[in-house]
Homo-oligomer: A and B are copies of this chain.
Amino acid sequence: MAPRKKNPAALTTNSPVSMADLARELGVSMTTISRALSNHHSIGPEMKARVLKLAKKYNYQPNRLAAALRKGKSQLLGIIVPYIEGRFFPSVVHGIETAASRAGYNVIICQSNEDAAQEQRNVEALLSAQVAGIMVSLARTTSTYQHFEKVRSRGLPLVFFDRSMGGEDVNAVVLNDHEGALISTRHLLSQGCRRVAHLAGPQHLSIYKNRYQGYLAALREAGLPLEEELVVFTDMAQAEGAAAMRRWLELPNPPDAVFSAGDYCALGALQEARRQGRRVPEDVAISGFSNEAFTLITEPTITTIDQRCEEMGQATVRLLLEQIEAGSTPFTPRQTVLQPELLVRGSSLRVSRPGPAEA
Contact = CB atoms under 8 A, between A and B. Distances in A.
Nearest to A118: B101
A23 B359 CA distance: 64
A85 B91 contact: yes
Contacts of A72: 3-4
A132 B176 CA distance: 41
A147 to B, nearest CB: 11
B294 A297 contact: yes
Interface in A223-258: 238
Interface string A1-23: 10110000000001110000000
Contacts of A109: 93, 97, 107-109
Could you tell me the dominant secondary structure of chain A's interface residues? mixed
A63 interface: yes
A69 B63 contact: yes
A84 interface: yes
Interface residues of A, number: 60
Nearest to A292: B293
Contacts of A65: 65, 68-69, 74, 129-130
A129 to B, nearest CB: 5
A130 B1 contact: no
30 contacts: A14-B154, A15-B154, A16-B154, A59-B150, A61-B127, A62-B128, A63-B128, A63-B130, A64-B130, A65-B65, A66-B69, A75-B129, A76-B108, A84-B91, A84-B93, A84-B97, A85-B94, A89-B90, A90-B93, A93-B109, A94-B111, A97-B111, A101-B111, A106-B108, A106-B129, A107-B108, A108-B108, A109-B109, A293-B294, A294-B294
